Amino acid sequence: MAKMWAGVTDGNTAQIADDFNSSIRFDCRLYKQDITGSMAHAAMLGAQGIITQQEAETLIDGLQGILEDLESGKLQFDMTCEDIHMFVEQVLTGRLGDVGKKLHTARSRNDQVALDLRLYLAQKTDFLIGLIRELVQAVTDKAEAYKATIMPGYTHLQRAQPITFGHHLMAYAMMMLRDLERLADTKKRTLISPIGCCALAGTTYHTDRRFEAAQLGMTDICRNSLDGVSDRDFAVELLSALSILMMHLSRFSEEIILWSSWEFQFVQLSDGYTTGSSIMPQKKNPDMAELVRGKTGRVYGDLMALLTTLKGLPLAYNKDMQEDKEAIFDAVDTVEMCLKVFVGMVETLTAIPENMKKAAQKGFINATDLADWLVKQGLPFRSAYKIAGQLVARCMAEHTVLEELPLAVYQEYSDLFTKEVYHAIDLTTCVATRISEGGTSVASVEAQIAYVKEQLG
Ligand code: ARG
């Protein structure tokens, strides 16, 4: 098929080569950014006298028409075009004749595609930030509701110390606040304009790159034209930040899956966010959480694909870079879906406080508090730790728990013991007295909730 770029070659490429080379089936989603970028470019060419103002206006109107026609469905993408940039230019030239051919003055598809991608990702980043904020809000609301609900806290997945469900949930809110920060930071380096870098070396025309950047709401320009067309760091950063976010969601999913199992029964997922089994009528499967956990690997894969595509590339543009898009689009689409589903899943999740409490009551989760109480009576921590350990061993041997061990038995191990010890090892006391900043007491968790709310603004 004869090409717009037929120059030294006759442009008659083999059909298979066309199919292999073409990216329109996935880069067509950049149409809006491509057209907006071209409008800014036409305006700059006009303002600089590289084309006449009249021509600039004609181009801008023509581009606006294409945008409207695409959005109304009057115009469809031509999948025989090589990419979205060629498609828009071809339609424009078809509609405007020779004036259309002037649009590509002082630019290249190399700076054009970099610009389109930056504009697209900046917008997507904002959208994803909005979804993460919704999720942080949902998690914080749940935490508020369960700020006094006692559950076992784990290390090594062994019962460790009592905490509240609200405290546990707020840990995820904190992680996601950092995710928000990472995305906002990435966006700063995304909104930098490569347009005007042209193919790689800049241009002989008297262009005004800052004018174009300002028109597009970008905050700066790429300062080196080779870097401008070669740089995909902004996308690598975004996919890294999204991978970290997914890692958080995956850990959260893993816990939701555990908690909703028959073995734990700490939480109940709403029917809207669970599935049944085609054979086992009793099943209520946490598929949403499992899929988020599964899709995390997929997003990591997208990041790896992008990094690997870029790692061996000499400067400046190489066609390998066309491979960036599918990975990037897959990552943002996947994360978007995961976040949407997660918000609903968290909003409709309910805790089963009795089961959480029951699980916290066994497993000597208050052994640290027992040791701490002895320390408060004047014993050094290591000695107190040893006595608490011996008492736990005694309970185990006698199939009882610390709460039920008679005072006389306590006193066999230390004459410091009084009946006050029972209050100290009561789970409610254990939680209520962990008043350190960031700790599990209701007041500490309330402070965490207030902090997150303040950060959300
Ligand atoms: N479709 C190409 C891409 O996505 C656009 C840039 C092509 N530039 C070139 N000189 N062939 O990377």
* Residue 364 φ then ψ, to 5°: 55, 40
The pLDDT of residue 2 is: 67
In 362-441, where does DSSP find H-type helix?
A: 367-376, 381-397, 407-413, 420-424, 427-432
How far is 183 from 398, CA to CA, in rounded Å? 55
User: Cα(303) to centroid of ligand 1, in Å?
Assistant: 20
**DSSP readout, 37-77?**
HHHHHHHHHHHTTSS-HHHHHHHHHHHHHHHHHHHHTSS--
Dihedral sign computed on CA atoms, order 324, 329, 332, 337:
negative
Residue 207 in contact with ligand 1 by CB distance below 6 A: no
Mutate which of 322, 323, 325, 326 for ligand 1? The one with the most ligand atoms within 8 Å of its CB, which is 322
Tokens encoding 177: 């606040």
Tell me the CATH class for 363-456: mainly alpha
Q: What is the pLDDT of residue 1?
A: 62
Q: Please give the backbone phi and psi of residue 7, each rounded to the nearest 5 degrees, phi first.
A: -140, -95
Instruction: Give residues with Cβ within 8 angstroms of 188, minimum separation 6.
Output: 219
198 CB near ligand 1 (under 6 Å): no
Ligand 1 centroid to 334 CA: how many Å?
25
Whether the Cβ atoms of residue 94 and residue 100 lie closer than 8 Å to each other: yes
**Start and end residues for every CATH 1.20.200.10 domain found in the chain:** 110-146+156-353
> Looking at this protein, which amino acid is placed at residue 281?
P
Q: Is the C-beta atom of 110 inside 6 A of ligand 1?
A: yes
Cα of 322 vs centre of ligand 1, distance in Å, is 6
**Strands 350-351 and 158-164, sheet pairing:** unpaired
- How remote is the CA of residue 41 from the centroid of ligand 1, in Å? 18
Residue 39 CA to its chain's centroid (Å):
32
Q: Which CATH class is domain 15-105?
A: mainly alpha
Helices (H), ranges, 260-352: 287-311, 324-347
Every domain of the chain with CATH number 1.10.275.10 lies at 15-105
83 Cβ inside 6 Å of ligand 1? yes
* Residue of 83, 112, 323, 325 to test ligand 1 pocket, by largest number of atoms within 8 Å of CB: 83
First to last CA, the chain: 56
- The structure tokens listed for 413 are 């191990």
Cβ-in-10-Å burial (0-12, 13-18, 19+) of 323 comes to: middle
Tokens of 393: 């061993």
Active-site choice (270, 277, 383, 423) = 277
Which residue from 302, 320, 158 is spatially nearest to 243, judged by alpha carbons? 302
Secondary structure (3-state) at 274 = coil
What pTM, to 2 d.p., does this model score? 0.95
Q: What is the pLDDT along the chain (457 residues), one digit of tens a residue?
A: 667 777 777 778 899 999 999 999 999 999 999 999 999 999 999 999 999 999 999 999 999 999 999 999 999 999 999 999 999 999 999 999 999 999 999 999 999 999 999 999 999 999 999 999 999 999 999 999 999 999 999 999 999 999 999 999 999 999 999 999 999 999 999 999 999 999 999 999 999 999 999 999 999 999 999 999 999 999 999 999 999 999 999 999 999 999 999 999 999 999 999 988 777 777 789 999 999 999 999 999 999 999 999 999 999 999 999 999 999 999 999 999 999 999 999 999 999 999 999 999 978 999 999 999 999 999 999 999 999 999 999 999 999 999 999 999 999 999 999 999 999 999 999 999 999 999 999 999 999 999 999 999 9
- Residue 453: what residue type? K
Helix spans in 109-164 (H): 109-145
Neighbours of 431 (CB within 10 A): 27
Which atom of ligand 1 lies nearest, measured to the CA of 27?
4
Cα 35 to Cα 73: distance, rounded to the nearest angstrom: 16
Is residue 334 in contact with ligand 1, taking CB distance under 6 Å? Answer: no
Residue 112 beta carbon below 6 angstroms from any ligand 1 atom: no
Query: Which 3 state secondary structure label does DSSP give 155?
Result: strand
Rounded to the nearest angstrom, the distance between the alpha carbon of 182 and the centre of ligand 1 is 29
Q: Please name the residues in contact with 130: beta carbons below 8 A apart, sequence gap of 6 or more.
A: none
243 lines ligand 1 (CB under 6 A): no
- Cβ–ligand 1 distance for 27 under 6 Å, the answer yes
- Strand partners for 158: 155
Q: What are the residue ranges of CATH 1.10.40.30 in the chain? A: 363-456
Token code pair at residue 303: 């990041």
Distance CA 383, CA 83 (A): 74
Amino acid at 193: S
The dihedral over CA atoms of 446, 452, 454, 457, expressed in degrees to the nearest 10, equals -140
Q: How far is the CA of 273 from the centre of ligand 1 (A)?
A: 42
CA nearest 148: which of 356, 441, 429, 360?
441
What is the C-alpha separation between 140 and 134, in angstroms, rounded?
Answer: 10
Q: Rounded to an integer, what distance in angstroms lies between the CA atom of residue 323 and that of residue 405?
A: 67
Please choose from 13, 34, 108, 113 the residue to mutate so as to test ligand 1's pocket, defined by most ligand atoms within 8 A of CB. Answer: 113
Our answer to whether residue 206 is catalytic in this structure is: no
Residue among 156, 206, 399, 436 flagged as catalytic:
156
Q: Whose CA is nearest to atom 4 of ligand 1?
A: 322
Please report the pLDDT score of residue 11 as a whole number.
Answer: 74
**Paired tokens of 235:** 């996308």
Looking at the domain covering 110-146+156-353, what would its CATH class be?
mainly alpha
Instruction: Tell me the CA–centroid distance for residue 109 and ligand 1, in Å.
Output: 6
Axis-axis angle for helices 367-376, 381-397 (nearest 10): 140
Is 156 marked active-site?
yes
Residue 37 C-alpha to ligand 1 middle, in angstroms?
16
Q: Is 109 in the pocket of ligand 1 (CB under 6 A)?
A: yes
